[in-house]
Amino acid sequence: MKKLLLYIILFFSINSFSQEAVTIKLDSLFYGLKKVHTLNFYVEDVIDNRLYNEYIGIAQYGIYNYPVPLKFESSLKNELGDFFKRMFPFENSKIPVTIRVNDLFIKEDPKFLVEVGDLNFQFDVLKKEREGLYSLIYSYSITSKRNTFDATIGNIGHLAGILFESIDLISTKIDVSKTGRPIKLAYIEEPTILTQKPTPGFYKTYAELANNLPDVSLKFNIKDKSKNKGSKTIEITDANEMPCEYFSYFNGESFYLNSSFYNNSDYFIKTYHIDNFLLFTEDFIADDYITAYTIAKGRSGYKYVKSRRPIIFNLADGKFYPVKRENMTRLLEEKYPDLYKKFKKNEKKDIQETYEIIKFLFEKEDAKWVRERLAN
C-alpha cells in the first residue's frame, strides 16, 4: 500500500513536459513517509559524483515518442539530498555519513504495445575520517527493468521503488564502526594522476582516477572482445559474470575506459595515454561538442546519428572531447602538411596513427598550446 501511494504521489511529481526537457520534483515524496530513527548514523550530505550531472536520462515526448532529456527540477544533489536527509535525520548522538551518487540513469525502450523502462542507481556510503579523506563503508548498485504502457510515467514510479530499496539497504547494511577503503572527494590544484605514476587496478569513478586511488583487491574475469573497428576492447566481469561497473581499469601498461559511461554498451575500450589525455576511436554521438545531453543520448540507446572519430578523455577535468578536424587543421596544416594529410586519411580508422601524430605535436610544440586546442 505504501509503495502504491508513493507511485501515485510521484505520478503527480512530474513537474513539466516540454520539447526541451521533462522535469521531476521529489518534494512530494516527503509526505507520509516515516523517518528512520533507530539507527546510529544520519545522512549529512549527498554528493553528485557523476561525470555529467545535468540529466538523469532520456524520456519519450508526445505521440511520436520524440526523445527529450529527463532531469530533476532542482539538481540531483538538492533533490536526493533533501530526500535522504529527511529519511535519515540529524541527531547529535549519531555519526554522520555521506552518500556519493555515482550514477542515476533512466532509459526508455519503446516496443510494440509496450515500453520498457530501465533504471540504474549506483551509490556509495562514506564516513569522514578527517578533512578531505573518507572511507568507503559500502557500495550499492541497483538495476531494475520493467514493462509498462507509458515508460515515462512508469519510470517515475520505478524511481520510487528504487529509492525505497536504497532506504532499506542503507538501513540494514551499514556498519559505521568499520573503516573502509580510503576515498578522496577532491584534489588540490591538479589531479594527482597527472603527476604520479598510475597504479594498476580498478578505478571506481573519475574521482578515484584523478587521485590515483584504485581498488587493487577486486577479482574480475577479463577476456578480449572482437575488435571495435580497429579499437581493442575487453570484457570485464565479476565472479557472478556481471559486467564491471568501474569507470576505468589500468593494467600497468594501458588505461581502459568503461563504455557504459558514454554509450549503451558495457565493454572496456583501450586508450592511448598522451600528456593529460586518454585517446581512443569510437562511434560517438555526432555532436560538435560533447555535453551532458550528448552523454545522455549515447547512454539512452536511441538511434541518434553517430560518427566514428577520435575522442580524448581529459584527465585534468574528467570530460570527453572530440578530436575535431578544425582543431587539427590549426595544429597541423600550415606547419606539418604531410601529417595533416595522414590525419585526414586515417582519423576514423587508425587510432595508432592518430596517437603518433598527437604525440609528435606534444614533443615538438608547447604542451599548453596543444592542450588548449585539443580540449575545447
Residue pLDDT, tens place only, 352-365: 999 999 999 999 99
> Do both 235 and 369 map to the same domain?
yes
Q: What is the mean pLDDT of residues 206-215?
A: 94
> Do both 199 and 130 map to the same domain?
no
Residue 364 lies in a domain: yes
Quick one: pLDDT at residue 2? Answer: 44
Quick one: pLDDT at residue 302? Answer: 80
| 0.75 surpassed by pTM | yes
What's the rounded Cα separation, in Å, for the pair 233 and 222? 10
Give the dihedral sign, CA 326/331/337/338: negative
Give 185's pLDDT tier (boundaries 50, 70, 90). confident
Q: What is the mean pLDDT of residues 217-231?
A: 79
> Do both 22 and 151 map to the same domain?
yes
Question: Under a CB-based contact definition with an 8 Å cutoff, are residues 374 and 319 in contact?
Answer: no
> Which CA distances in Å does 188 have to 47, 207, 265?
18, 12, 33
Domain limits at 82?
2-182
> Do both 154 and 96 map to the same domain?
yes
> Do both 165 and 287 map to the same domain?
no
Residue 189 lies in a domain: no
Res. 309: pLDDT tops 80: yes
Query: What is the percent of the chain with per-residue pLDDT over 90, rounded to a whole number?
Result: 52
Give 174's pLDDT tier (boundaries 50, 70, 90). confident
Res. 96: pLDDT tops 80: yes
> Do both 347 and 231 map to the same domain?
yes
pLDDT tens column, 101-151: 999 998 876 655 556 568 899 999 999 888 778 999 999 998 877 666 555
Mean pLDDT of all residues belonging to the chain? 85
Residue 122 belongs to a domain with what CATH number?
A: 3.40.50
Q: What is the mean pLDDT of residues 211-215?
A: 93
> Do both 163 and 252 map to the same domain?
no
Among 182, 213, 246, residue at a domain's last position: 182
Residue 190 lies in a domain: no
Quick one: pLDDT at residue 183? Answer: 86
Quick one: pLDDT at residue 191? Answer: 92
Q: What is the mean pLDDT of residues 197-214?
A: 95
Reduce the DSSP state of residue 259 to 3 states and report it. Answer: helix
What's the rounded Cα separation, in Å, for the pair 329 and 336? 10
Res. 59: pLDDT tops 70: yes
Quick one: pLDDT at residue 147? Answer: 60
Q: What is the mean pLDDT of residues 231-253?
A: 90
Beta bridge partners of 124: 100, 139
Give 249's pLDDT tier (boundaries 50, 70, 90). very high
Quick one: pLDDT at residue 1? Answer: 37
pLDDT tens column, 330-345: 999 999 999 999 999 8
> Do both 60 and 117 map to the same domain?
yes
Q: How many folded domains does the chain comprise?
A: 2
Residue 338 lies in a domain: yes
Among 157, 182, 207, residue at a domain's last position: 182
Q: DSSP labels for 302-350? A: ----EEEEEEEEETTTTEEEE--HHHHIIIIITT-HHHHHHHHHHTTT-
Q: What is the mean pLDDT of residues 217-224?
A: 88
Residue 360 lies in a domain: yes
Among 127, 157, 182, residue at a domain's last position: 182
